[in-house]
Structure 1
Amino acid sequence: MEPLEKGFYYQPTLELAKALLGCFLIKETPFGTASGIIVETEAYMGPDDRAAHSFEGRRTKRTEVMFGEPGFAYTYSMHTHCLLNVVSGKIGQPHAVLVRALEPFSGKELMAERRPKAKNEIEWTNGPGKLAKALGITMSDYGHPLDEPPLWISKGMNIDPRDIAIGPRIGIQNTGEAVHYPWRFWISGNKFVSPKTQ
C-alpha cells in the first residue's frame, strides 16, 4: 500500500472528496497496523462555507494546518471523539475533506479491541469518530503529511462515478443555507456508510 503522491491532493475540493472514495486509509501504531477503504466523505469549503471551521477565513491554532498545503491531516476533537480531515484547496484557501466512514480491511482484531461496545463489524467504522478510534487515529496526528507513515492514504479500487451517491452533510445544524449543500459523497449501497446516509 504505497502512499498516494502529493499531486493527488492538488485537485478541487469537491473532486478530491469523490476521488478519496475507494482509497485505503492506513494507520500504524505500536500495537499493529489497521486499514480501511474510504466509503464516505464530506467536503468543507472554507471561508464561504458556514459549516467549515475556517468560515470567514478564521485562522486559529486549530485551523492553522488548513491554510497550508493540501494532503495533510487536520484532526480535531468533537465531544470525546477525534475526527480526521484531509486538507485540500490551494495554500491560503482553507478547505478540508472529512473522512466519514470506512469499510474495515486489515487489522480487524485491533479494531474490535478498540471498539468493544460496537454490536458488529459495521459499527466499528460507520462514522468519523468511530473510524478514528478503530484505526488508532488521535489528535497527535494533527498536521501529519498523508503521504508517509504512520498515517497515510494509498490507491485503492476505482469507483465508477455512477456508483457515487451525493447528498447534504450530516450534523451541521445552525449553519444556515450550508446545511443543504450537497457536499457529502458515498459509495452507493455500501453497508459501512453512516446510518443516516442511505
Structure 2
Amino acid sequence: MFPPFDPDLDVVTLARALIGARLLVRGAGGLIIETEAYALDDPASHSFRGLTPRNATMFGPAGHAYVYRSYGIHLCLNVVGRRGEAVLIRALAPDAGLEQMQARRGQGPLCAGPGRLAQALGIEPDDDGKAFDGRELQLIPFADTGPALWRGPRIGISQAQERPWRFGLAGAKGLSRPFPRQQG
C-alpha cells in the first residue's frame, strides 16, 4: 500500500507526496503530475457540511478512491486521506495503456485535467470506495526523496481559491493549467 495512507496525515502533505507517484487503473496510467488538496474545514470541500450519501467515501478509510461527478458531466478521481479529506488527481503524464486511453479520449490531451484523466483511465462511478490496493487501482510511490514541486492556488472552484493547495511536478508538460510565476 502507498506509504502516505496514514489516517493522521494531513491532506496537504498527502497531495505533495502523490506528485511523482505512479497511478494505474486496470493497467492504464502514468506519473501523477498535478494534485489539489481538500480538507474537512475547507469551504470548497465536499465534506465541509458534513457526511452525506454523496461524500460518504471521504469519511471512510484512507487509501480509497473518492469518485464524484463534476457539474453532472465529468467524473473526478480523488485519493482519500484522513477522515473527511481527499486529494483530487488533476493531471497525469500517461505512459501505460496508451491505446486504451486514446480509444476512450480520442485526439487531444489524454490526462490534462481531472475530467479528461478520469475518462482516459476508464474511471466509473463504481470505482468510488475502491482501495488503491493493486487489484484494480494502484499507487506506486516516488522512489527518491521527492520531485521538485510547483505550488499555487486551486482552480475551478468558487470558494477558498486562495489556498495554495494545488501542486504540480516542476517542469511537467500536460498540467491542467499553468502555475503562477511564483512557483515552489
Please, what TM-score do these two structures have when normalized by structure 2?
0.90
The number of aligned residues is: 177
Provide the C-alpha distance between the structure 1 equivalents of 2:60 and 2:122, rounded to a whole number of angstroms: 25
Letter in 1 for 2:73: T
- Give the aligned partner of residue 123 of structure 2: 137
Post-superposition CA distance 1:63-85 (Å, at most 9, x none): 11111211110000013111000
Structure 1: state its 5+ residue gaps.
none
The answer on 1:167 being equivalent to 2:152 is: yes
**Structure 1 equivalent of residue 135 of structure 2:** 149
Distance 1:166 1:149, change over 3 A: same
CA contact (8 A) 2:33 2:91 kept: yes
Partner of 1:68: 60
CA deviation string 1:81-115 (max 9, x = no partner): 110001111xxx30000001000011111111111
For the residue of structure 1 that corresponds to 2:12, the secondary structure is helix
Q: Does 1:110 align with 2:100?
A: yes
The one of 39, 64, 75 equivalent to 1:45 is 39
Gaps of 5+ in 2: none
Equivalent-residue separation in structure 2 for 1:172 and 1:111 (angstroms): 27
Say if 2:20 and 2:146, in contact at 8 Å, map to a contact too.
no
Q: What letter corresponds to residue 190 of structure 1 in structure 2?
A: A
Q: 1:35 aligns with which of 29, 38, 49?
A: 29
Provide runs of 4+ in structure 1 moved above 6 Å: none
SS at match of 1:18: helix
CA distance in 1, matches of 2:143, 2:24: 15
Deviation at 1:195, TM superposition (A): 2.5
State the partner residue of 2:5: 9
TM-score by length of 1: 0.84
**Residue 186 of structure 1 aligns to which amino acid in structure 2?**
G
Counterpart CA distance in 2 for 1:127 and 1:159 is: 26
Determine if contact 2:151/2:179 at 8 Å carries over to the other structure: no
- The question of 1:22 aligning with 2:20 is answered yes
Deviation at 1:164, TM superposition (A): 0.5
Cα RMSD (Å): 1.6
Give a deviation string over 1:95-153, Cα, whole Å, max 9, x none: 000001000011111111111142xxxx1001111111111111110000111311121
**Fraction of identical pairs, as percent:** 42
Decide whether aligned partners of structure 1 residues 195 and 179 sit closer, same or farther in structure 2, where only a CA change above 3 A counts: closer
- Relative to its length, the structure with more helix (as a share) is 1
Alignment of 1:174-185 (within 5 A): 175=159, 178-185=160-167
Determine the structure 2 residue equivalent to 1:99.
89
2:167 maps to a residue whose letter is F
